[in-house]
Structure 1
């Protein structure tokens, strides 16, 4: 029997692979970072996405936590949002 984490991972991968677009270009406008507990980092990114060569970019913002683990980092939390006006 699959664990809840494995079921959640499979659901996320299934959703991402079922999306109708083929290409996404990222244009980063800003990146802000600050230290967190245990030598981690909280990162905030804003920018635009161009999907399948569309002329009108989609604005986005994203916040994620990079946790230090043995000389490298892993993402432990990630919030992504498309910003519609």
Structure 2
């Protein structure tokens, strides 16, 4: 999931996240996952705000603007 830069800071990311979580909860899933580059501070902050947990980091997983960056693997349990 992502929001184009010109549409950020309007609550779109939070709304998409809430709808996705509701869909997963209705589907009787136990846990959902999201992986993203460690350089994506806005997305990491959003997931932190929604109670996601950082479960793992994989070194040098993504290439962003020619540089290798870590991948942060996050998760949220739905039965909490």
Q: Which has the higher contact order (CA 8 A, sep 6+)?
A: 2
Structure 1 or 2: more helix by fraction: 2
